[in-house]
Amino acid sequence: MMHCGLDFGTSNTTLGVVTDGAPRLAALEGSHVTLPSAAFFGPRDGVRPSDPAPRIGRAAIAAYLDGEDGRLMRALKSVLGTALIDETTLIGRNRVGFRDVIARFLAEVRRRAEADLGRDLGDVVLGRPVQFVTDDAAANDRAEAALGDIARSVGFRNIAFQFEPVAAALEYERSLDREELALVADIGGGTSDFTVIRLGPQRAAREERGADVLANEGVRIGGTDFDSKLSLATVMPLLGYRTPLLREGLDVPSWYYFDLATWSRINLLYQPNVIAGLAGVRRQARQPELIERLIHVLHEHAGHGLLMIVEQAKITLSDALTATMALDAIERGLTETVGRDRFVSATQALADGIAARIADCLTAAGTTADQIDAVFLTGGSTSLPHVRRAILACVPGARAMDGDRFGAVGLGLGLDARRRFG
Ligand SMILES: Nc1ncnc2c1ncn2[C@@H]1O[C@H](COP(=O)(O)OP(=O)(O)OP(=O)(O)O)[C@@H](O)[C@H]1O
Ligand SMILES: [Mg+2]
């Protein structure tokens, strides 16, 4: 039996182990060590071990984009800590619990990692955000308990938890040849997580690291929130968001658009009663042709595809000053071009929210910005230029260090598993 660290991310999942003294990530999809946290259920796929397995990862996204009959689920982790985790969702003709969907996903992750490593996996350190849900202790406890129960149900034995930024710090620490006080900023798909921690080669060898961690902080802001805001600013108005009804002073209800811009809520809109209700909205709308487009998008289950196009535009804007979205799913030939300025103004408040939490973290650690030697940046959303700028402005004198943006947490969890279980 081998022990491992599991980083079940909002967007990507990795599994880390230590072999021959060094951490490595297991291949989870072909030779890829990252697995998009997505599942696609065809009409006959289910969650019981005897059911045909859903496709996961890139294959799940490809099945959806190929227009196969079935249902795509993404950002499953964001359901932890919300009431949805104890609810069921319609898959094919069956109602299944979100817990069972996550279990099916993680069971498959474990199976693939075991196949790649050629060993059975036993004990696990599960990564967790400092805050699954911002400032709600009860919800955070429930989220951790649910994740632990799910991990147990798929066969992991002893289960421990580690804050994701602390795990990233342990991986970063391997590159150090002297002591330093570091700030770690992990900006992922669902959450932003921070730790202020003392690191160094001597400390790395110690069994107990609790005293080195001066503070942890987190906030439920991540890349998916940037997707949502960009969608609401650019694509949703083309479907009637913020357009008036015939009755003076009223707009089309905005919840349709909020759900359509939120990965874990898109499927709720595909229910027949929602689409039927929109026929009434269309009759009362000043621009019924826009509501007609919305109905068409829901009919075609095109919500995920639209949000993927928005996410891709966001990623393009990390390097380019403009991005053009092809919106044929709304109307053939329709495009929308967005400049970085418009994206930044739609999302600067999110970047500011991240920076505010870093300030809280420094305060909680009893440190001032000038005492921080280095800031280690990880997580896919640290590629956003305005997010990076906001983080670095919190610790202007610190060295900015970049590591494996998608692998540092999983590698660090693998190191932590060896420390705890080895
Ligand atoms: N080049 C890029 N520019 C901007 N954003 C990016 C880029 N590449 C990836 N992202 C975003 O990074 C996010 C995924 O990052 P990551 O894999 O670190 O998250 P995660 O670990 O799954 O989530 P979490 O830790 O919050 O649960 C997605 O929102 C994705 O759109
Ligand atoms: Mg992460």
Asked if residues 4 and 422 have their Cβ atoms less than 8 Å apart, the reply is no
Ligand 1, atom 19: closest residue by C-alpha = 188
pLDDT reported for residue 142: 96
Q: Choose the CATH number for 2-164+411-421 among 3.40.50.880, 3.90.740.10, 1.10.10.60, 3.30.420.40.
A: 3.30.420.40
H or E element in which residue 296 lies: helix 288-299
What is the SS3 assignment for 348-408? Answer: HHHHHHHHHHHHHHHHHHCCCHHHCCEEEEECHHHHCHHHHHHHHHHCCCCEEEECCCCCH
pLDDT reported for residue 52: 87
User: Given ligand 1 and candidates 6, 8, 10, which is best to mutate, with the most ligand atoms within 8 Å of its CB?
Assistant: 10
pLDDT reported for residue 246: 97
H or E element in which residue 105 lies: helix 98-117
Give 3-state DSSP helix, strand, coil % of the chain, rounded to 5.
45, 25, 30
Can you give the pTM of this predicted structure? Answer: 0.97
User: Given ligand 1 and candidates 56, 166, 315, which is best to mutate, with the most ligand atoms within 8 Å of its CB?
Assistant: 315
Query: How many A from CA of 186 to the centre of ligand 2?
Result: 7
Residue 200 and residue 296: Cα distance in Å, rounded?
A: 57
Ligand 1, atom 15: closest residue by C-alpha = 380
% of the chain exceeding 70 in pLDDT: 100
Give the position of tokens 């609401």: 232
**Other C-beta atoms lying within 10 Å of the C-beta of residue 277:** 13
Nearest to 175 by CA among 420, 416, 404, 410: 404
Buried b (16+ CB within 10 A) or exposed e, 143-154: bbebbbebbeeb
pLDDT reported for residue 51: 86
Nearest ligand, measured from the Cα of 192: 1
Question: What average pLDDT does this structure show over 215-234?
Answer: 98
Site residues for ligand 1, CB cut-off 6 Å: 9-12, 77, 164, 188-191, 222-224, 311, 314-315, 318, 379-381, 383-384, 406
Any idea where the domains of the chain sit in the sequence? Answer: 2-164+411-421
**Whole-number average pLDDT of the chain:** 96
Give the position of tokens 């393009």: 316
Contacts of 251 by beta carbon, 8 Å cutoff, 6+ apart: 242, 243, 244, 245
pLDDT reported for residue 122: 97
pLDDT tens digits along 73-114: 999 999 998 988 988 888 877 888 999 999 999 999 999 999
Query: How many A from CA of 64 to the centre of ligand 1?
Result: 20
pLDDT reported for residue 50: 86
Query: How many A from CA of 191 to the centre of ligand 2?
Result: 8
% of the chain exceeding 90 in pLDDT: 91
Query: How many A from CA of 239 to the centre of ligand 2?
Result: 32
User: Given ligand 1 and candidates 105, 381, 384, 402, which is best to mutate, with the most ligand atoms within 8 Å of its CB?
Assistant: 381
Q: Is the pLDDT of residue 160 over 90?
A: yes
pLDDT tens digits along 326-347: 999 999 999 999 999 999 999 9
Please, which residues bridge with residue 411 across strands? none
Strand 374-378 relative to strand 180-187, pairing: parallel
Q: Is 114 exposed, middle or buried (0-12, 13-18, 19+ CB in 10 A)?
A: middle
pLDDT tens digits along 263-281: 989 999 998 999 999 999 9
